[in-house]
């Protein structure tokens, strides 16, 4: 099937101008359009692609896909008008055709928490097994052992995603692990992406400003599993967290084979128990016993927290279905290094423990504090965190209540954008159950303040940002900031360490 066949199969459409016999590339970004390219005019929340149609025609576009038509010059460019709610779907068909090629084994991860950790673990496991692999998600787009290139969204727009998959095909990369956010499913960003393994982590309070309620949120998450189809002759799998309260709902949406994992239910396919944390050569580790379809194994990881054990089980299950033995996978676990910004322990030469984590939901904070309890035993805990602008601030009071477990808290912001910083910080302050806290609105100053307050033996937790290296201020102004870099530099100054 060529592009003209795809267009012919679109039954509800209006065509202006003469359709091209062939096209080059496709993009939703008008700046990337050149001669012979396809431009997709998406009406977004802040930018309307239709405003750039005349520009891309001047740049030599051969085809424009839009949801409305004005009096454009279609002498050398065709414009196809389709229904607005179908534009991503149709764009994905064309993008997939343009980027067709060899199959890529694709693992998609969805859930409120754990997407980045699990997709990175899958990618790292495959690299340790000698396979070529790529990662797409919160940390960016990374191929094999290259540093990921940051692009903005957890899951890119549907055209960019297909273009990235095409890039992997051209470079002969055989595997992809990517984060499939609920926004991505709701907005059609994974249309026509062939997925081999879909992983469900958990579902907790988050993004209700977008989804409206937990039922809609769960439905949008479940859409990932419908992409696996119902052709049971294909080797496709759903990897599900049996410990989550939404497990049964997601399981009912899955028509393909299910592999489940648990740290609570011994009937799960992959069950971890006897979980223990310990410190060895200044490195925190976790050991556990694994019951699997191939027997029982003793495991060691370089991560802390029960939830990280759960994440490891998810990744291990997803790689196992490729045909590796459980023993092979267990043997590479100790070789897997730290996950940037996910329960990352910084500065092993410092007299304080600094932990950086991306926790930004009530469930994420609970798991963060639970995971660090063994480390924090008998020590003072200092925590800095912030609320982001343009986000669901209804979770703020619950976050405040949870982080009150820390001995001292500095409340700040996390890319406040155009919102009132006092309102953002106040949402967390409302839930605080003690008075041992202060508010410092600029994040860099807040991190410096928490280090200033620290003493040898303390545990300092940097929450909500992870390795993100910028803050977005009023008017969309982006300024550099890195929790880990600022914290470690300040700590070295404070404790005179070179």
Query: CA nearest 410: which of 373, 353, 452?
Result: 452
Is 112 assigned to a binding site? yes
Is 117 assigned to a binding site? yes
Query: CA nearest 451: which of 406, 413, 492, 487?
Result: 487
Tell me the residue ranges of DSSP E strands in 192-254. Answer: 197-200, 237-241
Is 115 assigned to a binding site? yes
Tell me the residue ranges of DSSP E strands in 302-455. Answer: 344-346, 353-357, 381-387, 408-413, 437-439
Is 114 assigned to a binding site? yes
Read off the tokens for 467.
Answer: 């390795």
Is 25 assigned to a binding site? no
Q: Can you tell me the distance from the alpha carbon of 382 to that of 453, in angstroms, rounded to the nearest whole number?
A: 8
CB atoms within 10 A of CB 44: 10
CA separation (Å) from 258 to 38, 181, 233? 39, 21, 14
Q: Can you tell me the distance from the alpha carbon of 160 to that of 166, in angstroms, rounded to the nearest whole number?
A: 10
Helix, strand and coil percent figures for the chain, each rounded to 5: 35, 25, 40
Is 154 assigned to a binding site? yes
- 202 and 113 Cβ atoms separated by less than 8 Å: yes
- The H or E element spanning position 320 is helix 306-320
Query: CA nearest 221: which of 194, 192, 241, 196?
Result: 241
Q: Indicate the DSSP class of residue 366.
A: H
Q: Which residues pair with 381 in a beta bridge?
A: 459
Q: Can you tell me the distance from the alpha carbon of 343 to that of 307, in angstroms, rounded to the nearest whole number?
A: 10
Is 181 assigned to a binding site? yes
3-state secondary structure of 385: strand
Is 130 assigned to a binding site? no
Read off the tokens for 138.
Answer: 């919160």
**Angle, helices 421-429/396-403, rounded to nearest 10 degrees:** 50
Q: Can you tell me the distance from the alpha carbon of 144 to that of 123, in angstroms, rounded to the nearest whole number?
A: 8
Is 400 assigned to a binding site? no
CA end-to-end span of the chain: 63
Is 111 assigned to a binding site? yes
Is 113 assigned to a binding site? yes
Q: Can you tell me the distance from the alpha carbon of 144 to that of 295, in angstroms, rounded to the nearest whole number?
A: 31
Is 381 assigned to a binding site? no
- 261 and 269 Cβ atoms separated by less than 8 Å: yes
Is 230 assigned to a binding site? no
**Residues annotated in the binding site for ATP, as ranges?**
111-117
**Residues annotated in the binding site, as ranges?**
30, 111-117, 153-155, 181, 189
């Amino acid at each position: 099937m060529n592009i003209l066949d795809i267009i012919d199969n679109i039954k509800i459409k209006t065509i202006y101008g003469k359709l091209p016999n062939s096209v080059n590339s496709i993009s939703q970004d008008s700046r990337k359009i050149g001669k012979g390219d396809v431009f997709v005019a998406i009406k977004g929340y802040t930018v309307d692609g239709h405003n750039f149609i005349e520009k891309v025609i001047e740049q030599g576009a051969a085809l424009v896909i839009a949801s409305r038509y004005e009096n454009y010059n279609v002498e050398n460019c065709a414009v196809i008008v389709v229904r607005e709610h179908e534009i991503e779907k149709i764009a994905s068909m064309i993008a997939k055709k343009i980027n067709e090629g060899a199959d890529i084994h694709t693992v998609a991860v969805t859930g409120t928490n754990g997407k980045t950790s699990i997709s990175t673990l899958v990618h790292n496991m495959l690299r340790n097994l000698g396979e070529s692999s790529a990662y797409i998600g919160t940390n960016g787009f990374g191929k094999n052992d290259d540093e990921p290139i940051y692009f903005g969204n957890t899951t890119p727009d549907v055209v960019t995603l297909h273009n990235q998959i095409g890039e992997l095909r051209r470079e002969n990369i055989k595997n992809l692990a990517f984060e499939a956010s609920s926004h991505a499913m709701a907005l059609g960003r994974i249309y026509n992406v062939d997925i081999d393994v879909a992983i469900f982590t958990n579902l907790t309070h988050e993004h209700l400003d977008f989804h409206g309620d937990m039922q809609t949120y769960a439905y949008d998450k479940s859409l990932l599993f419908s992409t696996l189809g119902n052709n049971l002759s294909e080797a496709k799998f759903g990897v599900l967290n049996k410990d989550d309260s939404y497990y049964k709902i997601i399981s009912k949406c899955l028509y393909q084979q299910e592999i489940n994992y648990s740290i609570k239910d011994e009937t799960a396919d992959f069950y971890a128990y006897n979980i223990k944390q310990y410190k060895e050569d200044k490195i925190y580790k976790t050991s556990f016993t694994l019951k699997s379809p191939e027997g029982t194994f003793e495991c060691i990881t370089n991560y802390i927290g029960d939830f990280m054990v759960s994440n490891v089980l998810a990744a291990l299950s997803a790689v196992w279905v490729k045909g590796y033995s459980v023993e092979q996978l267990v043997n590479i676990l100790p070789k897997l290094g730290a996950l940037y910004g996910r329960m990352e322990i910084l500065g092993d030469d410092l007299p304080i423990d600094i932990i950086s984590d991306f926790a930004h939901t009530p469930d994420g904070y609970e798991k963060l504090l639970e995971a660090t309890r063994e480390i924090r035993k008998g020590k003072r805990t200092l925590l800095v965190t912030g609320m982001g602008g343009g986000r669901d601030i209804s979770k703020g009071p619950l976050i405040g209540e949870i982080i009150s477990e820390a001995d001292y808290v500095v409340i700040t912001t996390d890319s406040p954008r155009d919102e009132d910083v006092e309102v953002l910080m106040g949402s967390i302050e409302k839930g605080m159950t003690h008075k041992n806290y202060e508010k410092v609105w600029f994040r860099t100053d807040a991190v410096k303040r928490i280090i200033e307050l620290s003493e040898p033996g303390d545990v300092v937790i940097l929450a909500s940002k992870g390795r993100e290296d910028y803050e977005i201020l009023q008017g969309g102004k982006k300024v550099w900031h890195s929790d880990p870099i600022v914290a470690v530099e300040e700590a070295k100054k404070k404790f005179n360490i070179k």
